[in-house]
Amino acid sequence: MGNFEVIRDKAAMRHWTRSMKKDGDRVALVPTMGYLHEGHLSLVREAKARANRVVVSIYVNPGQFAPGEDLSVYPRDLENDLAKLEPMGVDAVFNPYDLYVRDQSDQDSGLIASDSNGSGHETWVRVERLEKPLCGVNRPMFFRGVATVVTKLFHIVEPDVAIFGKKDYQQFRVLCRMVRDLDFDIEMVGAPLLREQDGLAMSSRNVRLSAEERQKALSISLSLRAAEESVRKGERDASVLIQQVQKTITEAGGHIDYVEIAEQESLRPVITLNCPVVLAVAVRFGNVRLLDNVEI
Ligand SMILES: Nc1ncnc2c1ncn2[C@@H]1O[C@H](COP(=O)(O)OP(=O)(O)OP(=O)(O)O)[C@@H](O)[C@H]1O
Ligand SMILES: CC(C)(CO)[C@@H](O)C(=O)[O-]
Ligand code: BAL
């Protein structure tokens, strides 16, 4: 389906890129977990502006979900994803069967890479300080899984440039740091966060919100906009802005994982806004955990 190749095998993927590069092509990679929406498609457009060959990877990475998280209910619809990519001018979709080496004992017990004790897969990439704050507090294994799978994707696809959304702000910063520290010869691009018309940050998980939860979740983007407005009017005290956001979201029934204001690259918390910062939040409505942020 589609005017692109769907590649499921690691060796075939590597061979594809190498043959493109032999012809002088520049290859961009857009890593995703599928269930594509306009946010993902905006990354594809960004990729097309920066390379003449675009690969989209679709892989729900078990290694970044802790036991008890939403791996089993993470939304998936490969056929629809391929249909959405068809008019986009993508050259290849990498949809691997499995990216991890697993021993027979892992397979028999149904263990996934994140809770395997290393019988099949035992190598992890950690970005030691940046993985700890914000999402790292409630998901301590998450960035280890992301950094590891993105390393694997980079080794398999060998792109010249990779595009990530700034909706997952800390993820982008962690991966930029990894690329810098480990000398990957890959240009990292952070694309702007895309919102629904009513302000909700686009996310594959939005589909798991009930109508009522979705309505209440609008408090997140509303609170961020109000905080931006407060900064415009002169507020510089981070704790005042954080409390303002917390109040709006809590009153709407959201359970806050964090509301924080941090320096944009180091993600170190700030007390007074006197440098470029990100105001970042993670909030649960029902069983759905949503991220949002604004750069100020
Ligand atoms: N609203 C958005 N704007 C810009 N980029 C986005 C947006 N949503 C997702 N992305 C980016 O798309 C890439 C793939 O993300 P992923 O497949 O996990 O989708 P998602 O919508 O973030 O799903 P989730 O519900 O798991 O958060 C990531 O780089 C992510 O930052
Ligand atoms: C970067 C990523 C594809 C790694 O699995 C994932 O975390 C995502 O979709 O944001
Ligand atoms: N986009 C982030 C992927 C995750 O939450 O697992």
Instruction: Return the CATH architecture of domain 204-295.
Output: 2-Layer Sandwich (3.30)
**Strand duo 27-32 + 53-58: pairing:** parallel
Residue 153 has pLDDT above 70, yes or no: yes
Task: Summarize the confidence of residues 277-289 as an average pLDDT.
Answer: 97
The answer to whether residues 216 and 254 touch, using CB atoms and an 8 Å cutoff, is: yes
pLDDT at res. 1: 44
- From 150, 168, 202, mutation site for ligand 3 pocket: most ligand atoms within 8 A of C-beta: 168
Category of 244 on φ-ψ map: left (φ > 0), alpha (ψ -120 to 50) or beta: alpha
Of 98-112, 219-233, 278-292, which gets the smallest average pLDDT? 98-112
Other beta carbons less than 10 A from residue 109's beta carbon = 11
Rounded Cα distance between 174 and 127, Å, is 6
Share of the chain above pLDDT 90, in %: 90
| Nearest residue (CA) to ligand 3, atom 1 | 168
Q: What sign does the dihedral 40-41-45-48 (CA atoms) show?
A: positive
The encoded tokens of residue 111 equal: 């263990």
Query: What's the CA gap between 160 and 146, in Å, rounded?
Result: 19
d(CA 183, CA 145): 19
Q: How many CA atoms lie within 13 A of 226 on its CB side?
A: 16
In the reported structure, the alpha carbon of residue 267 is separated from the centroid of ligand 1 by a whole-number distance in angstroms of 20
What is the model's pLDDT at position 216?
98
Q: What is the pLDDT of residue 98?
A: 84
Give the residue ranges of DSSP H helices in 78-217.
Answer: 78-85, 104-109, 135-138, 142-157, 169-181, 211-216
- Pairing verdict, β 255-263 and 187-191: unpaired
φ/ψ of 130, rounded to 5, equals -65, -20
Burial (Cβ within 10 Å: 0-12, 13-18, ≥19) of residue 211: exposed
Question: Looking at ligand 2, which atom is closest to the CA of residue 60?
Answer: 5
Q: What is the mean pLDDT of residues 154-159?
A: 98
- Residue 157 Cα to ligand 2 middle (Å): 15
Amino acid found at 51: A
**Stretch 186-200: mean pLDDT, rounded?**
98
* Residues within a 6 A CB radius of ligand 2: 31-33, 61, 64, 146, 149-150, 168, 171
* Residue of 15, 37, 40, 121 marked active site: 40
The pLDDT, as a whole number, for residue 3 is 87
- Look at residue 2 and tell me whether its pLDDT is greater than 60: no
Q: Which ligand is nearest to the CA of 149?
A: 2
For the chain, the structural domain boundaries read: 5-191, 204-295
- pLDDT at residue number 114: 63
Residues 6+ apart with CB under 8 A from 20: 27, 53, 91
From ligand 3's centre to the CA of 250, what distance in Å? 23
The CATH number assigned to the domain with range 5-191 reads 3.40.50.620
Which DSSP string corresponds to 254-268?
PEEEEEEEEETTT--
User: What is the best residue among 76, 171, 205 to mutate for testing ligand 2's pocket, by most ligand atoms within 8 Å of CB?
Assistant: 171
In a 10 Å sphere around its CB, with 0-12 CB exposed, 13-18 middle and 19+ buried, how is residue 261 labelled?
Answer: buried
Residue closest to 184 by CA, chosen among 149, 166, 159: 159
Q: Which residues line ligand 1 (CB under 6 A)?
A: 32-33, 39-40, 42-43, 164-165, 167-168, 191, 193-194, 201-205
Q: Is 155 an active-site residue?
A: no
Q: pLDDT digit string (tens) for 97-117?
A: 989 877 766 666 656 666 666
What is the tens place of the pLDDT at every residue in 12-50? 999 999 999 999 999 999 999 999 999 999 999 999 999
CA of 29: how far to CAs of 17, 149, 156, 232, in Å?
A: 10, 13, 11, 37
Mean pLDDT of 263-275: 97
Q: Mean of the per-residue pLDDT values for the chain?
A: 95
Name residue, tokens 């809770």: 115
Residue 197 has pLDDT above 60, yes or no: yes
The confidence band for 173, taking pLDDT boundaries of 50, 70 and 90, is very high
